[in-house]
Amino acid sequence: MYPKDFIKLQLDFARKASEITGENMTAAILKYTNIYLMFGLDFDFDTKVPRWQEYLKNFKPDTDYTYEFYKKTQSSQPKAGPPLAKKPKGSIDKYKEIEFGCFSYSIQPEKQRAWIHISNNEKSGFGPFSTKRLGIRKEEMTEMLKHIEANEEEIKFIRETSWLFAHENHNKVFPPEFVKNAEIEEGGDLQFLSSWGQFIDSSGNLRNELSDQFKYCFIKQNAISDMVRCFPYRVKTSELTIEKFYTFYKIHKQ
């Protein structure tokens, strides 16, 4: 489970966004935070689903209410797995519920691409991209690419959206061209951990100094775009042909 302060940070962000846009608080929570997905809900962000309706029914804008509701969602269902473990509807058409250590992927058939996702499934006590675990991450990436090569012949491209492009060891797992091609997501990808995950350390605790710096910045802004620029590490997206990944990892097509 995520800590209570992590929810508070997101609620504070939603509250400021609500003030700027005139949207009600629950609409801002849905649009500008990861909280909907933290409740174990699907990626179509359907506001009519029973669990979201239950959250709205007695909604209170304080942290305690949302945190207690979040705890209830965690105890009522087993953990779903990686951050994108539920099959998304819409842009991501097929989700492979297969983990390769800290990596997993989903597929966009119409784009012929696999979208890489990263979860902290590291159990050693070291950070997932610590120098001591970098070799393991490369082994996991190799395993995943071999699986894609053997089972997903339609895939022509690899894509990732993440704040982790700011992490040197993360970048060492990928072909240099993939890292070089990474571009900032101006919208911030605010409903996903690709933005908010940077505030959680490898032990699952809130990075207080980073979150304080973030809040100090966004509370002074007067536009959502400026609030997004307050994230310490901006979210980036990159895409590269899967053939270049195979070359980088010396994977020979069967």
Averaged over successive runs of 10 residues, the pLDDT of the chain (254 residues) comes to: 97 98 98 96 91 97 97 70 38 58 90 91 89 96 95 94 96 98 93 94 93 98 97 96 97 82
Q: What is the pLDDT of residue 76?
A: 62
pLDDT value of residue 82: 37
Same domain assignment for residues 56 and 136: no
Residues 155 and 106 in one domain: yes
Neighbours of 146 (CB within 10 A): 16
Rg, C-alpha atoms of the chain: 19
At residue 42, the pLDDT reads 82
The H or E element that residue 94 is part of is: strand 94-100
Query: 152: how many CB neighbours lie within 10 A of its CB?
Result: 17
Q: Residue 43: its pLDDT value, please?
A: 78
- Report how far Cα 185 is from the mean position of its chain's Cα atoms: 13
For the whole model, what pTM was predicted? Answer: 0.84
190 and 177 co-located in one domain: no
21 and 56: one domain?
yes
- Phi (first) and psi of residue 107, to 5 degrees: -120, 135
All residues at 6 or more sequence positions from 92 whose CB lies less than 8 Å from its CB, including other chains: 43, 84, 106, 107, 108, 115
158 lies in some domain: yes
Q: In this structure, are 200 and 217 located in the same domain?
A: yes
- Could you list the residue range(s) of the whole structural domain that residue 54 is in? 4-79+186-228
In this structure, are residues 251 and 232 in contact, taking their beta carbons and an 8 Å threshold?
no
Total domain count, the chain: 2
Contacts of 58 (CB under 8 A, 6+ apart): 65
Residues 144 and 63 placed together within one structural domain of the fold: no
Domain match, 144 and 219 both: no
Check whether residue 244 and residue 151 sit in a common domain. Answer: yes
Same domain? 15 vs 131:
no
Residues 136 and 196 in one domain: no
